[in-house]
Structure 1
Amino acid sequence: MSVTELKERHIAATETVNNLRERLKQRRLSLLDTDIAGYAKSQGRTPVTFGPTDILCCRTLQGHTGKVYSLDWTSEKNRIVSASQDGRLIVWNALTSQKTHAIKLPCAWVMTCAFSPTGQSVACGGLDSVCSIFNLNSPTDRDGNLNVSRMLSGHKGYVSSCQYVPGEDTHLITGSGDQTCVLWDITTGLRTSVFGGEFQSGHTADVLSISINGSNSKMFVSGSCDATARLWDTRVASRAVRTFHGHEGDVNSVKFFPDGNRFGTGSEDGTCRLFDIRTGHQLQVYNQQHSGDNEMAHVTSIAFSISGRLLIAGYTNGDCYVWDTLLAKVVLNLGSLQNSHEGRITCLGLSADGSALCTGSWDTNLKIWAFGGHRKVI
């Protein structure tokens, strides 16, 4: 068979796949008679309301000299690790705002960081294509720096995201610009499984974000520049369990819903979306309102409250919307409150008990927001 014939067959096959995908999309839409907000409104549900003192900025964590790109809380809720373009990881005491560690990184271009489940170590990755592990209990060198305890090498592109497997300090998952995700054994430094890459069901562009299912740690979801999110089972690395379409731009952030049956996404197209992993259906779109010639802000990061009633989303214009997930309505914009950030929101996360939110920004600061009278909703 000639090269020309192979190209023609490839073009025909691609067209067939695209047609089938469109037919499947239309069929799914025909079966969805309503979304979550439509059903909630029909049941007479009213949106969550916030008073002037229900969410307050109680602390500003100052210490980074570059843009903050990533943060993570420990499971015991009182410590935060942050990664910045200044080439340092800082571990903070969230209650006192004091720094317990300031770790100089081997590569200044860090993009992601994560605490281990026990809080004994932190991981980070970036443009060096390596995930570096630091044991916080290790002795420092003569300059007061912590040495890398393990370097996880194997990605062929930048490390965009990392997360420890819940309940395990010995395994973590990374997402990369090489279009793959990898499950690592930290003890040996070896790859246990690779997700994507040469496999047909893998991402076709950079992986930007991952989220491990808190109810079933064998499952995780990834978001990519190919405008899709994909569900993976660590026991079956060869192909994605399901691919989720709907976004029209890079999927910058993914996060599992508290019950583990759904997950949220935040995208370059300015929307957040909620998907069901069992049916593959899109349940709701959370679309910001913009008017005139104002450029639409992109979603950089998302998080759910403990109950799932609230979805918090950070945007490139400095807004940080608190969405009512049931009614798809913005109930508060943290960017409009006193002591809010002065730049792009790059990362955010809730404490383990859901009582506080931490946000990071290009303004080099992190801010801790305390939830007052709405803890039962959170």
Structure 2
Amino acid sequence: MSVAELKERHMAATETLNSLRERLKERRLQLLDTDVAGYARAQGKTAVALGPMDLVCCRILQGHTGKVYSLDWTPEKNRIVSASQDGRLIVWNALTSQKTHAIKLPCAWVMTCAFSPTGQSVACGGLDSICSIFNLSSPLDKDGNIPVSRTLTGHKGYVSACQYLPDDDSRLITASGDQTCVLWDISTGLRASVFGGEFQSGHTADVLSVSINGANSRVFVSGSCDGTARLWDMRVASRAVRTFHGHDGDVNSVRFFPDGNRFGSGSDDGTCRLFDIRTGHQLQVYPHPQDNSTPTVTSIAFSVSGRLLFAGYSNGDCFVWDTLLAEVVLNLGSLQNSHEGRVSCLGLSADGSALCTGSYDTSLKIWAFGGHRTVI
């Protein structure tokens, strides 16, 4: 068979595949008679009422000299780790705003960071394609820095995201620009499982985000530049359990809903979306109200109950969405002490009482529910 004939067959197969994808997408839409917001309105539900004084900036964490790319809370809620373009990890006391550790990194181009479940270690990764583990109780080296306690090598592209498994300091999931996710055994430094890559059901572009199911730690979801999110079972690394379509751009952030049956996603297309992992259906779209030059969604998080969705945007907005009614109930970007640049990352404390946002303006801000309101 000639090269020309092979190319012709490949083009025909590609057209058939795209046609089947469109038919499948149309069929899925036909099966959905309504979305979450439509059903909620039909039931007479009303949106959560939030005012400018219900969520206030109570702490400003200053110390980074470069753009803040990532942050994470400890499970006991009083410490935050942040990663910045200045090549440092800083561990903060969220209650006092004081720095407890400032870690100089081997590679300045860090993209992600995470606390271990016990809060004894932090992990980070970036353009060096390595995930570095630091034990916060390790003695300082001769230069006054905390040394790397474990280096996880094996990715062939940048490390874009990392997350420890709940209640297990020895296992970690990473996402990478090499189109794979990896489950690591930190005690040995070896890869326990690789998700994607040569497997056809894996991502076809850079993986940007991961989220482990809090209700079932064997399951996690990943978001990618291929515009999809994929559900994985750690016991079956050879194929994705399910693939979720809907976004028209890179999926920058994914986060499981508190009950573990759903997850949210944020994308370059300016929308957040809610998916059901049991049916594979898209339940709701949360579009940015700006019509032209829609900003991208950089990071998302759910409140403890799941009623609120926090979404950071590239233009400095930070919307608080009512997930049930799909309405913006507050924009932190319009409040006093809001960020002056791109909101690049955000995260909620374990008890849901505070939200931390990080920005390209080099600062982090802690927002707490004020007045009579506690946790939603």
Q: Same fold (TM over 0.5)?
A: yes
Match in the other structure for 1:296? 294
* Superimposed CA distance per residue, residues 300-354 of structure 1 (whole angstroms, 9 cap, x where no aligned partner): 0000000000000000000000000000000000001101111000000000000
Aligned residue identity for 1:304: F
Match in the other structure for 1:241? 241
TM-score by length of 2: 0.98
Which 5+ residue runs of structure 1 have no aligned equivalent? none
Q: Kindly indicate whether the alpha-carbon contact (under 8 Å) linking 2:52 and 2:330 is maintained by their aligned counterparts in 1.
A: no
Match in the other structure for 2:73? 73
| 4+ long deviations beyond 6 Å | none
The alpha carbon displacement at 1:54 in A equals 1.0
Match in the other structure for 2:343? 345
The alpha carbon displacement at 1:31 in A equals 1.0
RMSD of aligned residue pairs (Cα, Å): 1.0
The alpha carbon displacement at 1:22 in A equals 1.4
In structure 2, distance between residues paired with 1:170 and 1:2: 53
Aligned residue identity for 2:373: H
In structure 1, distance between residues paired with 2:218 and 2:86: 35
In structure 2, distance between residues paired with 1:297 and 1:134: 35
Q: Equivalences for 1:1-378 in 2 at 5 Å?
A: 1-291=1-291, 294-372=292-370, 373-376=372-375, 378=376
Q: Secondary structure at the match of 2:305?
A: coil
When the two structures are aligned, how many residues end up with a matched partner?
A: 375
The alpha carbon displacement at 1:11 in A equals 2.4
Which 5+ residue runs of structure 2 have no aligned equivalent? none
In structure 1, distance between residues paired with 2:373 and 2:42: 24
The alpha carbon displacement at 1:282 in A equals 0.4
In structure 2, distance between residues paired with 1:269 and 1:38: 22
The alpha carbon displacement at 1:197 in A equals 0.7
* Superimposed CA distance per residue, residues 177-236 of structure 1 (whole angstroms, 9 cap, x where no aligned partner): 011100000000000111111111111111010001001111111111111111111111
TM-score by length of 1: 0.98
Aligned residue identity for 1:129: S
* Superimposed CA distance per residue, residues 258-297 of structure 1 (whole angstroms, 9 cap, x where no aligned partner): 0001000000000000000111100000001114xx5211
In structure 1, distance between residues paired with 2:144 and 2:247: 46
* Superimposed CA distance per residue, residues 139-197 of structure 1 (whole angstroms, 9 cap, x where no aligned partner): 01122200000000000000000000111100000000011100000000000111111
In structure 1, distance between residues paired with 2:202 and 2:3: 26
Q: Secondary structure at the match of 2:320?
A: strand
* Superimposed CA distance per residue, residues 122-144 of structure 1 (whole angstroms, 9 cap, x where no aligned partner): 00000000000000010011222
Identity %: 82
Aligned residue identity for 1:249: G
Aligned residue identity for 1:126: G
